[in-house]
Amino acid sequence: MKDLFESHLAVGLQNKAWQPVRKNRRRFKKRPASASICLLLSLALAMILAGCSKPSALEISVAEQYGLAYAPIQIMQEKGLLEAALQKVATANQTVHVKWIKLANTSAIQEAMLSDQLDVAFVGIPPFLIGRDQGMPWSIFTGLSECPVELLSNDPAVTDLKSLVDAGKIALPQPGSIQHILLAMAAEQQLGDATRFDRQLVAMKHPDGLQALLAGQDIVAQFTAPPYNFIAAETPGIEVILSGEEAFGGSFSFIVGIAEDAFLQDDVRRQAFQAALDQSIQFMAENPDETVAILAKSYELTPEQARLYLFGRRLVFGTSIRGVDHFAEFMQQAGYLEKVYGQKDVVWPQ
Q: Which amino acid is at 88?
A: K
pLDDT-derived band at 50, boundaries 50, 70, 90: very low
Instruction: State the pLDDT at residue 217.
Output: 87
Percent of the chain exceeding pLDDT 70 equals 84
What average pLDDT does this structure show over 297-310? 97
Rounded Cα distance between 253 and 301, Å, is 25
User: Nearest Cα to 67, choosing from 182, 229, 212, 214?
Assistant: 229
Asked if residue 345 has pLDDT above 60, the reply is yes
Instruction: State the pLDDT at residue 275.
Output: 99
Burial (CB count <10 Å: 0-12, 13-18, 19+), residue 334: middle
| Interval 312-323: pLDDT, tens | 999 999 999 999
Output phi, psi for 55, to 5 deg: -60, 145
What average pLDDT does this structure show over 38-67? 67
Instruction: State the pLDDT at residue 32.
Output: 55
What average pLDDT does this structure show over 218-241? 98
CA dist 59 → 10, 28, 62, 102, 168 (Å)? 53, 54, 10, 17, 45
Instruction: State the pLDDT at residue 42.
Output: 54
Q: Residue 259: CB partners within 8 Å, gap ≥ 6?
A: 119, 120, 121, 138, 139, 141, 270, 348
Radius of gyration, alpha carbons of the chain: 30
DSSP state of 53: S
For β-strands 239-243 and 150-153, DSSP reports them as antiparallel
Q: Which amino acid is at 334?
A: A
Query: 116 with 259: CB under 8 angstroms?
Result: no
| Interval 92-138: pLDDT, tens | 999 999 999 999 899 999 999 999 999 999 999 999 999 999 999 99
User: Nearest Cα to 223, choosing from 185, 257, 250?
Assistant: 185
Average pLDDT for the chain: 89
Instruction: State the pLDDT at residue 56.
Output: 85
Q: Which amino acid is at 164?
A: L
Instruction: State the pLDDT at residue 247.
Output: 99
What's the start-to-end Cα distance of the chain, in Å?
44
Buried b (16+ CB within 10 A) or exposed e, 243-278: ebbbbbeeebbbbbbbbbeebbebeebbebbebbbb
Helix then strand then coil, in percent of the chain rounded to 5, is 50, 15, 30
* 3-class DSSP state of 341: coil
Rounded Cα distance between 137 and 231, Å, is 37
Which domains, and CATH codes, for the chain?
56-147+254-346 (3.40.190.10), 150-248 (3.40.190.10)
* 3-class DSSP state of 236: coil
* Size (the chain), residues: 350
Q: Residue 309: CB partners within 8 Å, gap ≥ 6?
A: 68, 226, 227, 230, 301, 315
Output phi, psi for 102, to 5 deg: -110, 120
Rounded Cα distance between 244 and 338, Å, is 24
DSSP state of 16: G
